[in-house]
Copies of this chain bind each other. A is one copy, B any other.
Amino acid sequence: MLEKKNFNMTTDEFRHHGRAVIDWIADYYDTIESFPVLSQVQPNEIRSSLPAEPPHQGEKFENILKDVDSLLPGITHWQSPNFFAYFPANTSGPSILAELLSAGLGVQGMLWSTSPACTELETHVLDWLVNMLGLPEKFKSTGKGGGVIQDSASSAVLCALLAAREQSTNYESNEKGCDQHLVVYASTQTHSSIEKAVKIVGLGKQNLRLIQVDEDFALRPDKLLLQIKKDRQDGLIPCFVVATVGTTSSNAIDPLSEIGNICREENLWLHVDSAMSGTAALCPEYRYLNAGLDLADSYCFNPHKWMLTNFDCDCFYVANRAILNKTLKVLPEYLRNKATESGDVIDYSDWEIPLGRRFRSLKLWFVIRYYGIEGLQQHIRHHIKMAQDFAGWIDDSEHFELANLAPLNLVCFKHLGGDSFNQHLLERLNQSGHLFLTHTILNGQYVLRFCVGQTHTEERHVKQAWLHIQETAAKLENILQE
Q: Mark A171-198, 1 if CB is under 8 A from B, else 0.
A: 0011111101000000000011101100
Q: Which of these, B86, B90, B378, contacts A334 with CB under 8 Å?
A: B86
List the B side residues contacting A200 at CB < 8 Å. 158, 162, 200-201, 353
Q: Which of these, B19, B43, B438, contacts A345 with CB under 8 Å?
A: B43
Q: Which parts of A307-325 form the interface with B (CB within 8 Å)?
A: 310-312
List the B side residues contacting A115 at CB < 8 Å. 39, 74-76, 78
A119 to chain B, nearest CB (A): 9
Interface centre among A39, A58, A128, A200 (most CB of B within 10 A): A200
Judged by a CB distance under 8 angstroms, whether A14 is at the interface is yes
Judged by a CB distance under 8 angstroms, whether A205 is at the interface is yes
Contact of B57 with A374 in the complex, beta carbons under 8 Å: yes
List the B side residues contacting A108 at CB < 8 Å. 78, 86, 89, 311
Contact of B202 with A45 in the complex, beta carbons under 8 Å: no
Judged by a CB distance under 8 angstroms, whether A113 is at the interface is yes
List the B side residues contacting A104 at CB < 8 Å. 21, 24-25, 28-29, 96
Given the known inter-chain contacts A47-B123, A311-B356, A369-B54, please indicate yes or no for A22 contacting B14, CB distance below 8 A: yes
Q: Which of these, B107, B154, B371, contacts A78 with CB under 8 Å?
A: B107
Given the known inter-chain contacts A78-B108, A121-B50, please indicate yes or no for A15 contacting B23, CB distance below 8 A: yes
Given the known inter-chain contacts A6-B382, A22-B15, A103-B99, please indicate yes or no for A47 contacting B124, CB distance below 8 A: yes
The answer for the CA separation of A73 and B120 in the assembled complex, in Å, is: 12
Given the known inter-chain contacts A43-B116, A75-B117, A108-B89, please indicate yes or no for A100 contacting B374, CB distance below 8 A: no
Judged by a CB distance under 8 angstroms, whether A170 is at the interface is no
Residue of B nearest to A151 (CB): B354
A117 to chain B, nearest CB (A): 3
The answer for the CA separation of A121 and B48 in the assembled complex, in Å, is: 10
Q: Which of these, B9, B94, B354, B439, contacts A94 with CB under 8 Å?
A: B9
The answer for the CA separation of A259 and B312 in the assembled complex, in Å, is: 38
Judged by a CB distance under 8 angstroms, whether A281 is at the interface is no
Residue of B nearest to A122 (CB): B47
The answer for the CA separation of A350 and B90 in the assembled complex, in Å, is: 23
The answer for the CA separation of A368 and B64 in the assembled complex, in Å, is: 10
Judged by a CB distance under 8 angstroms, whether A339 is at the interface is yes
Residue of B nearest to A15 (CB): B26
The answer for the CA separation of A120 and B37 in the assembled complex, in Å, is: 18
A235 to chain B, nearest CB (A): 15
Residue of B nearest to A39 (CB): B116
The answer for the CA separation of A339 and B152 in the assembled complex, in Å, is: 24
Judged by a CB distance under 8 angstroms, whether A227 is at the interface is no
Judged by a CB distance under 8 angstroms, whether A71 is at the interface is yes
Judged by a CB distance under 8 angstroms, whether A284 is at the interface is no
Contact of A101 with B205 in the complex, beta carbons under 8 Å: no
Q: Mark A12-37, 1 if CB is under 8 A from B, else 0.
A: 11110111011111111111110000
Q: Which parts of A352-374 form the interface with B (CB within 8 Å)?
A: 353-358, 362, 365-366, 368-374
Contact of B46 with A121 in the complex, beta carbons under 8 Å: yes
Contact of B46 with A92 in the complex, beta carbons under 8 Å: no
Contact of B50 with A124 in the complex, beta carbons under 8 Å: yes
Contact of A106 with B132 in the complex, beta carbons under 8 Å: no
List the B side residues contacting A50 at CB < 8 Å. 120-121, 124
Contact of B249 with A372 in the complex, beta carbons under 8 Å: no
Contact of A97 with B17 in the complex, beta carbons under 8 Å: yes
Q: Which of these, B101, B113, B175, B192, contacts A204 with CB under 8 Å?
A: B175
The answer for the CA separation of A39 and B116 in the assembled complex, in Å, is: 7
Judged by a CB distance under 8 angstroms, whether A480 is at the interface is no
Judged by a CB distance under 8 angstroms, whether A234 is at the interface is no
A407 to chain B, nearest CB (A): 18
Q: Which of these, B33, B103, B174, contacts A1 with CB under 8 Å?
A: B33
A344 to chain B, nearest CB (A): 5
Judged by a CB distance under 8 angstroms, whether A131 is at the interface is yes
A397 to chain B, nearest CB (A): 23
Q: Which of these, B100, B107, B369, contacts A103 with CB under 8 Å?
A: B100
Which 10 pairs between the two chains have the least Cβ-Cβ distance? A202-B202, A74-B117, A178-B202, A9-B93, A18-B22, A177-B204, A25-B104, A7-B375, A58-B372, A177-B180
Q: A24-B101, A103-B310, A192-B335 are in contact. List 4 more A-B contacts (CB 8 A).
A: A39-B117, A43-B344, A178-B178, A200-B200
